[in-house]
Amino acid sequence: MNNKLLLLIIDGVPWRNWRSLFGNLEGWVDSGEAQVWKIRAPLPSTSASCYASIHTGVVPAVHGVTGNDNVFRVSQPDIFSEVRKEGGTTGAVTHSFWSEFFQRAPFDPVRDIEYDEADSAGINHGRFHTMTGYGHPNQMTPCDADLFATLTMLTERFGLDYGILHTCTLDSMGHRFKHSCEEMDDACFTLDAQLAPFIRRWRDAGYEIMVTADHGQSERGHHGGRGEDQQDAALYYFGDAEGPAPDTLLKITQLAPTILSRLGVEVPESMTEDSFLTAG
Ligand SMILES: [Zn+2]
């Protein structure tokens, strides 16, 4: 391990919302502290399928997660497993699907809502939420500021080498209110403002940071299929590495090998995509 990194998955935010509504992130692009590219989700562009692809580097046709009702412990190596092989410390503040994919399934809410397992082959420090009861009239999402604080607590209490945060707030807002509306303007504005002080704090603590989404959404608030609206998001990178040309279209399956490379961890053979960052 020669570096440490935090990955933030802001669920369901399409490219156009990132570039028009996240003023702090865009301001850091202007100041040169962040680089940004467009990144494309695999098919199906369904949340659970994309989570498994983000962390394993393989497409749903390979890992087998066909949708949100088909969640199991995946068999491929992933970022957590490879960091642990190198002795790194991992943490997750996410929806419970991430624990089921990369730690154990099914999710037992009492056993698994929070754990600290020093010898884990996957996630050492997990803090999860299930969104049980989620639907159109009730989002059942935690406050994003609380999630950012929880990840910060894990970094400072346990010295994480790799940590992931995932929040469904904006995906749920899109399903509920769609996109050309005051509710979505305010929701993106609010999340950006809540996130920004933590970006500064994590950078000061020596972390590289990636902020992105698992997929986009159409104007009707849909995703799962093909199309720039449903599949494309932005990826913001804070760190010293060199990236590709600004107009390069990244693939979500490049995230896992790129993150492992940045951490100084060997990339397993199952991750066949190239890293999009080179040592800087
Ligand atoms: Zn999603």
Average pLDDT over residues 61-71: 97
- For residue 51, how far is its CA from the centre of ligand 1 (angstroms)? 8
Name the residues around ion ligand 1, CB cutoff 5 A: 11-12, 47, 171, 214
**Are 216 and 14 spatial neighbours (Cβ–Cβ below 8 Å)?**
yes
- For residue 35, how far is its CA from the centre of ligand 1 (angstroms)? 23
b/e burial code for range 125-135 (CB count within 10 A of at least 16 → b): bbbbbebeeee
pLDDT digits (tens, 9 = 90+) for 78-112: 999 999 999 999 999 999 999 999 999 999 999 99
User: Which pLDDT band, with edges at 50, 70 and 90, does 256 fall under?
Assistant: very high
pLDDT over 90 (residue 42):
yes
**Are 237 and 32 spatial neighbours (Cβ–Cβ below 8 Å)?**
no
pLDDT over 90 (residue 255):
yes
Q: Take residue 244 and report the two structure tokens written for it.
A: 């590709």
Cα 199 to Cα 195: distance, rounded to the nearest angstrom: 6
Q: What is the pLDDT of residue 28?
A: 98
Torsion-angle region of 239 (φ positive above 0: left; ψ -120 to 50: alpha; else: beta): left
Q: Take residue 82 and report the two structure tokens written for it.
A: 């490879």
- For residue 213, how far is its CA from the centre of ligand 1 (angstroms)? 8
Please choose, from the candidates 110, 109, 128, the residue with its C-alpha nearest in 3D space to the C-alpha of residue 51: 128
pLDDT over 80 (residue 72):
yes
pLDDT over 70 (residue 74):
yes
- For residue 129, how far is its CA from the centre of ligand 1 (angstroms)? 15
- For residue 46, how far is its CA from the centre of ligand 1 (angstroms)? 6
Cα 129 to Cα 140: distance, rounded to the nearest angstrom: 9
pLDDT over 70 (residue 280):
no
- For residue 194, how far is its CA from the centre of ligand 1 (angstroms)? 20
Average pLDDT over residues 53-65: 98
Mean pLDDT (the chain) is 97
Torsion-angle region of 162 (φ positive above 0: left; ψ -120 to 50: alpha; else: beta): beta
Residue located via tokens 């960052």: 277
Residue located via tokens 């009861």: 133
Q: What percent of the chain has pLDDT over 70?
A: 100
pTM over 0.95: yes
Q: SS3 for 109?
A: helix
Give the contacts of 132 (CB within 8 A, at least 6 positions apart): 109, 140
pLDDT digits (tens, 9 = 90+) for 220-233: 999 999 999 999 99
- For residue 11, how far is its CA from the centre of ligand 1 (angstroms)? 5
- For residue 208, how far is its CA from the centre of ligand 1 (angstroms)? 23
- For residue 53, how far is its CA from the centre of ligand 1 (angstroms)? 12
Please choose, from the candidates 6, 47, 1, the residue with its C-alpha nearest in 3D space to the C-alpha of residue 265: 1
Average pLDDT over residues 137-154: 97
Cα 234 to Cα 228: distance, rounded to the nearest angstrom: 12
pLDDT over 80 (residue 137):
yes
Cα 50 to Cα 124: distance, rounded to the nearest angstrom: 22
Average pLDDT over residues 235-253: 97
Please choose, from the candidates 279, 223, 275, 277, the residue with its C-alpha nearest in 3D space to the C-alpha of residue 254: 275
pLDDT over 90 (residue 239):
yes
Give the contacts of 212 (CB within 8 A, at least 6 positions apart): 7, 8, 9, 10, 39, 233, 234, 235, 236, 255
- Residue 92's H or E segment, with its range, is strand 90-95
b/e burial code for range 209-234 (CB count within 10 A of at least 16 → b): bbbbbbbbbbeebbbbeeeebbbbbb
